[in-house]
Amino acid sequence: MNVERWKIDDAGVLACARQIASPNCDLRPAESSIDLLVIHSISLPPGSFGGNAICELFTNCLDPDAHPYYRDIAGMCVSAHFLIRRDGELIQFVPCGYRAWHAGKSQWRDRQGCNDYSIGIELEGSDDVPFERAQYQVLARLVATLRAAYPIVDSVGHCDIATPKGRKTDPGPYFDWGNLKGLEADAGGVN
Annotated active-site residue in 122, 124, 132, 184: 122
Give bridge partners of residue 36 from the DSSP assignment.
118, 154
Contacts 24+ apart (CB under 8 A), 12-19: 12/95, 12/96, 12/97, 12/98, 13/92, 13/95, 13/96, 14/82, 14/90, 14/92, 14/96, 14/142, 14/145, 16/90, 17/82, 17/90, 17/91, 17/92, 18/89, 18/90, 18/91, 18/92, 19/91, 19/92
Report the SS3 class of residue 3: helix
Strands 18-19 and 82-84: unpaired
In sign, the C-alpha dihedral spanning 59, 1, 42, 183 is: negative
Is 122 marked active-site?
A: yes
Compute CA distances 110 → 40, 92, 136, whole Å. Answer: 21, 29, 29
What are the residue numbers of the active site?
A: 122
